[in-house]
Each structure stands twice: as C-alpha cells, then as structure tokens.
A = this chain, B = another copy of it.
Amino acid sequence: MSASPERIREVVERYVALVGTGTADEIVALYAEDATVEDPIGSDVRTGHAAIREFYATLEGLDQETRLITARIGGGQAAFHFEIVTKAGEKTYTLSPIDVMTFDDDGVVTSMRAYWADTDMVVG
C-alpha cells in the first residue's frame, strides 16, 4: 500500500526544512539507497546515496531559509512549490522550485525531480 498522504506531507515538510538548515547526511536519510535526483530538470540524474550526498553537501554551510509554499499529494507521490532564500554577503538569492517526488510504501523518497531554471533565480 502506498504511503499515506499524511506521511508524505511529513516527509516533504522535513525535506524543505532540512534543505534550509540540515546536513547532507540528514537529507540523504530521507532517500532510498537507489533513489534518483534530477535537480534541475534536464541535468544529469544522480543515482544512489553517495551521488545524492555529494549534491546536498554543496548546500551545507550556506546561510539559507526555506519555506513550503504549497504541496499536492496523490497516488503515493507529491508535487510541491517551495522557496529557498540564500544570503551571501550583501546579496539575497531567492529560488522557488517545484519539486516532484515519488515514495516507497514507508514514505522513503525514491525519486526527486526539481523544476527550475537559472532564469528563475531572483537576486536582490
């Protein structure tokens, strides 16, 4: 049986929070061993914990705040719109991707695809 919508929402909320303030290891723990990550959409697909950890490690140490804007959940899958605000020096970089995730029956993330492009980054 698919993971419940409530369980999936919990994982999505935890993911968004961890992208802001978590470690790469904490984020990777949400993913299945053989999970895939395509971020941004159209880039090379990263497969497995090592490749996924390498990806999120680049975010560690950045001064970031995140918030979930909205999530839609059905059929054991989720699409959600969230915002990442990164401060670096005097500048603020705001990106609000739409991510799509699939989950196994326990709510472990089996794939993530992030829809955004460089032109969506707002620098203020």
Contacts and interface: CB of A to CB of B under 8 A. Distances in A.
A50 to B, nearest CB: 24
Contact of A79 (B5, B75, B79): B79
Q: Which of A2, A70, A76 has the most chain B CB atoms inside 10 A of its CB?
A: A70
Nearest to A118: B74
Given A41-B74, A42-B74, A74-B40, A100 B119 contact: no
Nearest to A73: B117
Interface residues of A, number: 26
Contacts of A40: 74-75
Given A5-B117, A80-B98, 14 more contacts: A5-B119, A41-B72, A41-B75, A42-B74, A42-B77, A43-B75, A70-B98, A72-B98, A72-B117, A73-B115, A77-B115, A81-B98, A98-B98, A100-B100
